[in-house]
């Protein structure tokens, strides 16, 4: 209280507020840098197919834990001896990819240009382990054949030397292969796991959920202990936080099914904490309300 009777407000050091602002800026920049470093462009690939061989790019563009698959686009580049001067295939070209969920043979008719075609590879993994789920497609084999038809011999297939390159067009996933230059007929394995930036984002969502019951329990416990007065509008605040859990749970990347590891380790306890906090606030109402 000042000499003239006015109440004075005690202010803390100004540098505390500045440190808080700087801390937020540092965390913000660190998150952006982590995202940029985890999803950087690997640059263009300047490979070309040899004259009598086929260059196949297996570009991974989706990972689905719900149906245990890794989706990819197969881009085929035949050597110059396999196409005419106009760029069209001289003979029918068949690319065999296995094991995949549908027909494993991609057929390009003679007299046409080759183009990318989608395939879906089987993958081992468990989405219930989100956000630490990892997937791998084992024993992937890519082979190419040139097929020519004649009235005397019928259809004859000639195996072609095949170079296979595994790439990815995914955001938030790190895709690798144990043999990036797997030759035709040689089995290799494709691995997919979440990048560090994606993992930090997933864990941040879990942290947001955990903060909700911590704040709610702090308020309700202080009110029950009569260190803070009961405020009727606060009951609505508790209800809003409780109903916010499901929308936050539904935006988890990858859409892990209910009953996953994160539900038992985080979501269940968040709901229990919020219900407990609301119950304590009702007890405070019973004790303090007139």
List pLDDT tens digits, range 235-261.
888 888 888 898 889 888 888 888 888
Per-residue tokens: 43: 């640059």
Three-state DSSP class for residue 100 = strand
End-to-end CA distance of the chain: 33
Read off the pTM: 0.76
pLDDT of residue 274: 92
Give the DSSP letter of residue 181.
Answer: T
List pLDDT tens digits, range 149-185.
655 555 667 788 888 888 888 888 888 887 655 556 6
Count CB-CB contacts under 10 A for residue 87.
Answer: 11
CB 289 within 8 A of CB 231: no
CB 261 within 8 A of CB 268: no
**How far apart are the C-alpha atoms of 27 and 65, rounded to whole Å?**
31
Short-list 52, 21, 253, 83, CA closest to 163: 52
pLDDT of residue 215: 92
Q: What is the mean pLDDT of each run of 10 residues along the chain (290 residues)?
A: 53 75 84 66 64 86 87 87 80 85 76 85 89 90 79 67 86 80 73 86 89 92 86 84 88 85 92 92 80
Helix (H) or strand (E) holding 223: helix 196-224
Partner residues linked to 115 by β-bridges: none
Three-state DSSP class for residue 203 = helix
Per-residue tokens: 92: 């029918």
């Amino acid at each position: 209280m000042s000499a003239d009777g006015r109440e004075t407000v005690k202010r803390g050091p100004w540098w505390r507020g500045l440190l808080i602002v700087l801390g937020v800026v540092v965390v913000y920049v660190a998150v952006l840098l982590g995202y940029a470093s985890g999803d950087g462009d690997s640059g263009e690939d300047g490979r070309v197919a040899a004259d009598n061989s086929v260059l196949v790019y297996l570009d991974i563009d989706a990972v689905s834990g719900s149906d245990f698959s890794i989706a990819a686009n197969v881009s085929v580049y035949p050597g110059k001896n396999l196409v005419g001067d106009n760029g069209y295939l001289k003979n029918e070209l068949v690319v065999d990819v296995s094991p995949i969920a549908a027909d494993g043979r991609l057929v390009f008719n003679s007299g046409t240009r080759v183009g990318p075609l989608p395939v879906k590879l089987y993958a081992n993994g468990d989405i219930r382990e989100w956000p630490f789920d990892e997937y791998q497609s084992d024993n992937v084999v890519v082979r190419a054949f040139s097929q020519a038809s004649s009235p005397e011999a019928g259809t004859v297939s000639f195996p072609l030397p095949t170079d296979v390159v595994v790439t990815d067009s995914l955001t938030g996933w790190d895709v690798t292969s144990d043999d990036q230059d797997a030759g035709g007929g040689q089995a290799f394995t494709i691995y997919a796991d979440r990048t560090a930036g994606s993992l930090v984002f997933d864990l941040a969502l879990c942290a947001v959920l955990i903060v909700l019951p911590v704040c709610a329990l702090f308020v309700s416990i202080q009110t029950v202990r009569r260190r803070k007065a009961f405020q009727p509008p606060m009951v609505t605040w508790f209800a809003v936080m409780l109903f916010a859990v499901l929308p936050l749970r539904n935006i988890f990347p990858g859409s892990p099914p209910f009953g996953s590891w994160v539900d038992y380790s985080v979501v269940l306890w968040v709901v229990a904490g919020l219900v407990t906090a609301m119950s304590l606030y009702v007890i405070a109402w019973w004790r303090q309300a007139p």
